[in-house]
Amino acid sequence: MSRELGTEPRERLMSWDPPGRAWGCFRRDEGRRRPFSWEVRANDRSYHKQFKKKFAFCLTKKKYSGNAIKTAKYNILTFLPLNLYEQFHRMANVYFVFVILLQTIPEISTLPWYTLLFPLGCLLTIRGLRDLIDDIGRHQSDRNINSRPCEILSGKRFRWQQWRHICVGDIVRLRKDSFVPADMLLLCSSEPSSLCYVETAEIDGETNLKFRQALLVTHQELVSEESMAAFDGRVTCEEPNSRMHSFTGTLEWRGESFSLDSERILLRGCRLRNTDLCYGLVLYAGFDSKIMRNCGKIQRKKTKLDRLMDRLVIIIFLVLLLTSLCLAVASGLWAKTFQENHSYLSALYQHTTPAQQAFFSFWGFTILLSIIIPMSMYITFEFVYLVNSFFINWDLEMYYPAKDIPAKARSTSLNDQLGQIEYIFSDKTGTLTQNVMTFKKCCINGTIYGASENAEPELCHHKAAAQLGLSWVPATCPCLLQGLGLTWRQQEEKLDFCKVTLLEAAQQDTDPVLREFLRLLALCHTVMVEEKGDQLVYQAASPDEEALVLAARDLGYVFLARTQDTITISELGLKRTYKVLAMLDFSSERRRMSVLVRDPQGRIRLYTKGADTVILERLQRRGPSETFTEMALDHFAQETLRTLCLASREVSEAEYSSWSRRHQQASVLPRDRAPQLRRLYEEMEQDLQLLGATAIEDKLQDGVPETIQLLKLGNIKVWVLTGDKQETAVNIGYACKLLTDDMEILEEKEISDILKAYWVSNNNLSSSREAFCSGNLSPQRPEASRHKKRALIISGDLLDKILQTEEVLKEQGRLRRWLAACRATGSQEQGSLVEKAFVDLATSCQAVICCRVTPKQKALIVQLVKKHRKVTTLAIGDGANDVNMIKTADIGVGIRGLEGMQAVQCSDYALAQFRFLQRLLLVHGRWGYLRVCKFLRCFFYKTFAGLMAQVWFAFHSGFTAQPLYEGWFLALYNIFYTACPVLSVGLLEQDVSAKKSLEFPELYVIGQQDQLFNYRVFGVTFLHGASTSLASFYIALWAFQDHVGSKAVGDYESFAVTVATSALLSVLVEIILDTKFWTVLSFLMVTASLLFFCLFSFLTQSVDAFRLAPTVFRFPDASRNALTDPYVLLVVLLSLVVNTIPSLTIQLYHSMAGKANIQQKICLKAKRAPEPSVELRAHIPRGSARRRSSYAFSHQEGYAGLITRGHSLRSRAARSTPQLLHPAAAPPVPPLPTPSL
C-alpha cells in the first residue's frame, strides 16, 4: 500500500475550505510572493488609524477595521429599498412588476390595476416580514457579541471593556473559558511553556482541545503588566484571508525577527480551556478575522423537482406567449370585420389598423393570462418545505435519547429529494460502526479465552465474577489504587467482555506467557494518561488501543503513568516502572509497533504488536501453539472481529547497545531519516516469540444490518466508502449484510480484467465506438447479474489508476487535438468512456465497497455516479473526512458522533444514528416527495382549471382580451380562495402510514422513478385543468344563451360569477377527492377557502364598497343577484357534477378493479414471500481461506513522537519551570490529548 495514511489529518484540515477555493488561494499567493503588507504594531493605536483603503469609487475606509461586527443586512432606513431590491432578484417578481407597468397603458390594460398588484403586494409583504424578523434576530445577536466583556491593556493596566472597543495592535488578557474576541498572536500564558489550550467547537465543531504555544521570547520577557505595556513588537503578516489553518508572518522585536505560524495564533471564536490566563496581541479584528472571512454564502442545493418546476414555469410562460400570439392574430382578423360591419364598434377602431389592433391585443392577452403564471407557488412551496422539515425535527422516532439528540433538518428545501434517493454513499467508521472498540477475545499461548457466542451476557459482568469468587477486580483493584491516591471511575466501569477464565488465569499468575501478554498490553502503546481528580483517564490515538489498555487494566495490569522515558504500571497490585529505551512507532507500511523497555530487573525486552501477517513472518519458530493461534485468528476473523498479534523477545545488552548507537545516529540524520529508521526497526523486530492474539470487536451501530436490508429492498444501493483497509471494510460489509455469501466478489484483478477487455475491444473498434460502448459491457453484465449478485470491492489506488487512465487519455486527446483538431472530440469521449465503463460496472453490482479512499476520492466517486447515472445521491458520514462527499452529494447527512461536528455542519440533515436513515428516507422522504408532488399537481390544476376559462371566453368576445372574471376574483383566487386546501395537501398528505411505509420499502420506488410528478403528469394535469375550465365555461355558456329569467339574463356579471363559482367549487371538490389523508386541518382549510370566497365576495361586491370607489368595486351585488337565482345554482351544480364524475369514476375504478395500485401489489407480494430474516451470523468466506484479520490501528500515527520528545508531558515537578523549546524546531504535532471537562 503506497498510500500514506498519515495524510488523513492533513486532508481533514484542508477540507474546511471548499477545496477549490482553498487551493486557488494558495496558488495565487505563491505565484506572487510579495512581501506582506499587513503590519501590526503593539500598543500603538494611532499608527493603525492613519491607514485608509479604497473600497468603492473614491470612498475610503480604515484599513484596519475595528472589532465590532455587523451581520445584519438592513437598518430602519435601508430596509425597504434593500429588501425590495433583493426580492426583485427573482425573475417572477420582476416579470409581474413589468406586467403591472404594462397595465398602466390604457390601450392594453385588460385587467384592473389591483388584480396583479394585490397578490404581488401580499407576497412581497410576507417575504419582507420574514426577512425583517430574521434581521431583527441578527441585530440582537450582533449587539450581544459586540458588547461581550474583555480586558484590554490601556496605558499601564488592563481595563474591562467591550469587544467592540478592541483595535488591531491591542494587547488583550483572556481568562479561562472565555471566547477569543479577535485573531490574536499568543504572547504568553499562565501555563508552562506558555501553552494555551483552546476548544474550536464554534469554528469547526471539534470538541477536543488543541494547544497553541507562545514564542519563547515573548514567553520569557513578558512577565508583568509593565512589560506588556512596554511591548513594542511589530508583526508583519499576510493580508486578512479566509484560510483557517494557515498563517505566516514575522514578529520583529528588539532588532530580532521571529517567524510565526498558525500554532501561535488564537482565532476569534475559539474558547480558552484549561488555561487560567493568556495574553494576546490583536492582529485581525472584526471582519478581518478568519472566522468572519469564512462566513460565505451557503450555496443552495436544488432538488430535481425544483429544477422541473422552474422549467415548467418557463414552459407555462412560453405557452402563454404563444397563446397570446395566436389570440392576437385572431383578434387582428376580427378587427377588420368589426371595423367594417359592426357600426356600434367601428368608432373604436377609427385610428388603428387591424395590425395595430393585433399588437395591442397581444399585450392585452399577455397581461390577462399572466395570472396563470403561478406567482404564489414559490412562497407556498417554501412554506410546505419548512413545515415538513419541522416534522423531521419533531419526529420522536428519530430522537436518540441516549445522547439527547433529535434529528435535525438543517436544510429546509430538500425534503422531496429524500424520497428519490437511489444511491447512498456511506462512511464506515462512526457511521455504520459505533467507533467503539471492545476487547472480546484473545488467544494466549494456544488457549482461547473469551466467551463463546452463546454465553449468557449477565455472566460476563462483574457481579457474576464476584459470585465466582473472583472478586479482586472490583474489590482489590480500587484498594491498590487507593494506595496510589486514585480510584476508578466506577460508573464507566463495565466489564463487558467475558473472560472469566482469563481473569482466573491472570489472578493465579502462573503462566509466564500470559504475564508477558498482559504486560505487553499495558506497555506497548502510545496512550496518554491523565489524572482527573482521583480518576485515570486514558487518551488514545485510536479506539483500538484504548480498548487494549483498558482490557489490560481490567485484568490487573494497570497502566498508571508515563514520562518521557518511563512507563509505570501496576501488575496485580505491584507497582513497577519500566524504562522505555525506544519506541518503534506504528506506520501504515510497518503495520506494527514495538516498544523496547528495560524492566526493573534490568532485562531488556522488545514488545511488538501488529497485523498477523507481519508478525507471523517475523517469528522465531513455528510450534503447535503458533499453528493453533493461526487457527484462532481464522476463527476470530469469521466472527468479524479485528485481530492483532502480540509477540516479544528478549534483547541482550550488547545487541541493544550497538543498535541503540546506530539508532541515535539515524535519528539525527538530516535526510533519509525515515527509511534508515525503518531499516533499524526492521532489524530489531526479528526472531519474535509469539505471545498470542487479541480480538477486538468494532461494534456496529444498532439496527445497521436491518436498515441496510430495508434500504436494499427499497431499491436503494448502498456504497461504503471508507479510509479503512480492505479486510476491515469487507468484514463490516458482511457484518452489516451489505455483502452476502451468495455474492460473487469482484476484486482488483477482476475489475481490471473487465475494464481492460472493455477497453481493448473499444480501441480496436474506435471507429464504431459509439455503437460499441453500450454493447460491450452489456453482454457480460446482464448475463452475470442475471445469474448471481455481484459485489465490487475496490481500493483507492485502483480507483486512482482507473481514473488516471482517463487523465492519460485526456492528455492524449489534448495532444491529438494539437495535431488534428478534428479528432479531439472523439478522444474526449474516450476519456469519459472509461469513467462510464467503471460506473456501469459498479452500478451493476449489488454492493460496492471502496476502501482506502481519501476524502477527495470519496467526493469524486459521488460525482462520477451523479454525472453518469443522473441519479439522486445521498452521502452519510460523521467525520471531517466525509465533508467533501457530503457537500458533493445531492443530499448530505451528518451523523452526530464522536468525531466532532464538522460533518454535521456541512450536512443537510443531521441524525444521531445510522438506523434513523430508514425513517428519514422511507417515511419522511417518501411523504415529502408525495406531498410536494401532490401539492404541485393540485396547484397547477387549480391554476389551469380556474383561470383557463379566460382563453375560452376570448373566442366569444371577438378576441378582444376582455377578462371573464371580475378583477377581485382574480386577485384573490390564488392567495385566498384555493391556497388553503392545496397547502393542507402539501403539509399533511400521506398515502400509507409510517408503519406501513417501513414495512413495505418497495413503495419507495415511485420516488426514484419520478412517478408522481414529471412532464407526463404535468401534461395530464394541464389537460385535466383545461377540461375542467372548458366544462365550467361551456355549461354556463349554453345555459345562458337561451335563458330567460327575471334577474340573471345572460349579463356579463352574472355569467362571470357563475363560471367563477363553478370553477372554484370544482377545484375544491377535486382537491377533496384527491386528499387521501384527512385531518382536522384539511377540513378547516377547505372550510376556510369557502368562507374566504363568501366573505371577500361579499366585501368586494357590497354596495358600500361601490359607493366608496365605483371604479374599483365594479360588481355591486353581482354574486347576490346571480347566486340567489335557482337557475344559476342549477348550472353551478351541473358543472360541478360534470367535472367530478370523470375523476371520481377513475378513482373508483382503480380502487375497485385493483388496477395498477402499487401498494396492493406489493402487499400481495409481501404476503407470498415473507421477508428474509436479518440476523447477524458468522459467515464462511468463499474460496480461499483468507483471514479477515487486521491490525486495527486507526489512520493516524500515535503520539510516540510527542511522547519521546516529552514536550507536552507535564511532570509534576517540572510544572513550575517550563522547558525551553526552540520554536522553529518543533514540527507540527498532532493535537495534544487532554482530558475533556
Partner 1 sequence: FQIDYTGTEPSSPCNKCLNVSWDSSAPCTCTINFTLEHSFESNVFMYYGLSNFYQNHRRYVKSRDDSQLNGDNSSLLNPSKECEPYRTNEDKPIAPCGAIANSMFNDTLALYLIENETTVPITLIKKGIAWWTDKNVKFRNPTGDGNNLTALFQGTTKPVNWPKPVYMLDSEPDNNGFINEDFIVWMRTAALPTFRKLYRLIERKDNLQPTLQAGNYSLVITYNYPVHSFDGRKRMILSTISWMGGKNPFLGIAYITVGSICFFLGVVLLIIHHKYGNRNTSADIPN
Out of 427, 612, 698, 1010, pick the active-site residue: 427
Q: By C-beta, is 77 or 1152 nearer to partner 1?
A: 1152
Task: By CB under 8 A, tell whether 488 contacts partner 1.
Answer: no
Q: By C-beta, is 404 or 1104 nearer to partner 1?
A: 1104
One residue of 345, 459, 572, 1069 binding partner 1 per CB under 8 A: 345
Cα maximum dimension of the chain: 127
Torsion angle of the four alpha carbons 763, 764, 768, 771, in this order, in degrees rounded to the nearest 10: -70
- Cβ-contact 898, 435 below 8 angstroms: yes
What is the closest distance, in whole angstroms, from the C-beta atom of residue 1044 to partner 1 in the complex? 4
Q: Which stretch binds partner 1 (CB under 8 A): 337-345, 711-719, 756-764, 931-939?
A: 337-345
What is the closest distance, in whole angstroms, from the C-beta atom of residue 1129 to partner 1 in the complex? 9
Task: By CB under 8 A, tell whether 631 contacts partner 1.
Answer: no
Interactions with partner 1, residue window 823-842 (CB under 8 A): none
Q: Which stretch binds partner 1 (CB under 8 A): 253-261, 394-402, 672-680, 1144-1152?
A: 1144-1152
Q: Which helix (H) or strand (E) holds 968?
A: helix 967-972
What is the closest distance, in whole angstroms, from the C-beta atom of residue 495 to partner 1 in the complex? 48
Q: Which residues of 901-936 are buried (b: 16+ CB within 10 A; e: fewer)?
A: bbbbbbbbbbbbbbbbbbbbbbbbbbbbbbbbbbbb
Q: Which helix (H) or strand (E) holds 184?
A: strand 183-189
Q: Which stretch binds partner 1 (CB under 8 A): 191-199, 241-249, 708-716, 1102-1110?
A: 1102-1110
- Cβ-contact 1058, 1036 below 8 angstroms: yes
Q: By C-beta, is 489 or 1107 nearer to partner 1?
A: 1107
Q: Which helix (H) or strand (E) holds 981?
A: helix 979-988
Task: By CB under 8 A, tell whether 1168 contacts partner 1.
Answer: no
Residue 897 falls in which region: left (phi positive, over 0), alpha (psi -120 to 50) or beta: beta
- Cβ-contact 575, 562 below 8 angstroms: no
Q: By C-beta, is 1152 or 1213 nearer to partner 1?
A: 1152
How many C-beta neighbours within 10 Å does residue 55 have?
Answer: 8
3-class secondary-structure state, position 713: helix
Write the binding mask 432 to 461 for partner 1: x where contact by CB under 8 A, - elsewhere: ------------------------------
Q: Which phi and psi (to 5°) does residue 597 adopt? A: -125, 155
Query: Rounded to whole angstroms, how far apart are CA atoms 962 and 1054?
Result: 15
- Cβ-contact 528, 562 below 8 angstroms: yes
Q: Which stretch binds partner 1 (CB under 8 A): 424-432, 502-510, 546-554, 1157-1165?
A: 1157-1165
Interactions with partner 1, residue window 49-108 (CB under 8 A): 106
One residue of 45, 336, 342, 403 binding partner 1 per CB under 8 A: 342
Torsion angle of the four alpha carbons 113, 115, 118, 120, in this order, in degrees rounded to the nearest 10: -100
Q: By C-beta, is 3 or 996 nearer to partner 1?
A: 996
Interactions with partner 1, residue window 172-231 (CB under 8 A): none
- Cβ-contact 997, 926 below 8 angstroms: yes
Interactions with partner 1, residue window 11-50 (CB under 8 A): none
Task: By CB under 8 A, tell whether 341 contacts partner 1.
Answer: yes
One residue of 418, 874, 1056, 1232 binding partner 1 per CB under 8 A: 1056
Q: Length of the chain, please?
A: 1237
One residue of 103, 110, 218, 629 binding partner 1 per CB under 8 A: 110
- Cβ-contact 183, 289 below 8 angstroms: yes
Task: By CB under 8 A, tell whether 1028 contacts partner 1.
Answer: no
One residue of 203, 375, 567, 1131 binding partner 1 per CB under 8 A: 1131
- Cβ-contact 901, 430 below 8 angstroms: no
Query: What grid cell was written down for 1105?
Result: 364598497
One residue of 832, 962, 1011, 1079 binding partner 1 per CB under 8 A: 962
**What are the beta bridge partners of residue 644?**
694
Task: By CB under 8 A, tell whether 1043 contacts partner 1.
Answer: yes
Gyration radius from the chain CA atoms: 38
Interactions with partner 1, residue window 528-567 (CB under 8 A): none
One residue of 475, 820, 1148, 1220 binding partner 1 per CB under 8 A: 1148
Residue 128 burial by CB count (10 A; 0-12/13-18/19+): exposed, middle or buried?
Answer: middle
Q: By C-beta, is 360 or 976 nearer to partner 1?
A: 360
Q: By C-beta, is 1020 or 1148 nearer to partner 1?
A: 1148
DSSP state of 563: -
Of the CA atoms within 13 Å of residue 265, those in its CB half-sphere come to 27
One residue of 1040, 1093, 1191, 1199 binding partner 1 per CB under 8 A: 1040
Task: By CB under 8 A, tell whether 1047 contacts partner 1.
Answer: yes
* Total site size for partner 1, rule CB under 8 A: 74
CA distances to 8, 609, 724, 941 from 852, rounded to whole Å, are: 11, 22, 5, 51
Q: By C-beta, is 1090 or 1137 nearer to partner 1?
A: 1137
How many C-beta neighbours within 10 Å does residue 246 have?
Answer: 18
How many C-beta neighbours within 10 Å does residue 146 have?
Answer: 18
One residue of 46, 491, 601, 1041 binding partner 1 per CB under 8 A: 1041
Q: Which phi and psi (to 5°) does residue 160 adopt? A: -75, 120
Q: By C-beta, is 342 or 1016 nearer to partner 1?
A: 342
511 part of the active site: no
One residue of 461, 1051, 1124, 1224 binding partner 1 per CB under 8 A: 1051
**What are the beta bridge partners of residue 911?**
895
Task: By CB under 8 A, tell whether 1141 contacts partner 1.
Answer: yes
Q: By C-beta, is 299 or 341 nearer to partner 1?
A: 341
CA distances to 42, 157, 709, 836 from 221, rounded to whole Å, are: 15, 17, 65, 64
Q: Which stretch binds partner 1 (CB under 8 A): 242-250, 932-940, 1155-1163, 1207-1215?
A: 1155-1163
Beta strands in 522-653 (DSSP E): 528-532, 535-539, 557-562, 566-571, 574-584, 592-598, 604-610, 641-651
One residue of 47, 488, 1077, 1092 binding partner 1 per CB under 8 A: 1077
Query: What grid cell was written down for 580?
Result: 522505555
One residue of 958, 1181, 1206, 1218 binding partner 1 per CB under 8 A: 958
Task: By CB under 8 A, tell whether 1156 contacts partner 1.
Answer: no
Q: Which stretch binds partner 1 (CB under 8 A): 62-70, 168-176, 985-993, 1170-1178?
A: 985-993
Q: Which stretch binds partner 1 (CB under 8 A): 232-240, 335-343, 516-524, 776-784?
A: 335-343
The amino acid that residue 1131 corresponds to is V
One residue of 1052, 1172, 1211, 1224 binding partner 1 per CB under 8 A: 1052
Task: By CB under 8 A, tell whether 1084 contacts partner 1.
Answer: no
Q: Which stretch binds partner 1 (CB under 8 A): 384-392, 895-903, 928-936, 1038-1046?
A: 1038-1046
The amino acid that residue 993 corresponds to is S
Q: Which stretch binds partner 1 (CB under 8 A): 95-103, 583-591, 605-613, 1049-1057?
A: 1049-1057
CA distances to 187, 229, 236, 238, 256 from 282, rounded to whole Å, are: 10, 14, 12, 14, 20
One residue of 50, 343, 510, 1217 binding partner 1 per CB under 8 A: 343
How many C-beta neighbours within 10 Å does residue 1130 have?
Answer: 11
Task: By CB under 8 A, tell whether 1153 contacts partner 1.
Answer: yes
CA proximity to 40, closest of 244, 303, 208, 239: 239
Task: By CB under 8 A, tell whether 295 contacts partner 1.
Answer: no
Residue 110 burial by CB count (10 A; 0-12/13-18/19+): exposed, middle or buried?
Answer: buried
The amino acid that residue 1112 corresponds to is V
Task: By CB under 8 A, tell whether 347 contacts partner 1.
Answer: yes
What is the closest distance, in whole angstroms, from the C-beta atom of residue 101 to partner 1 in the complex? 19
Which sequence positions are flagged as catalytic?
427
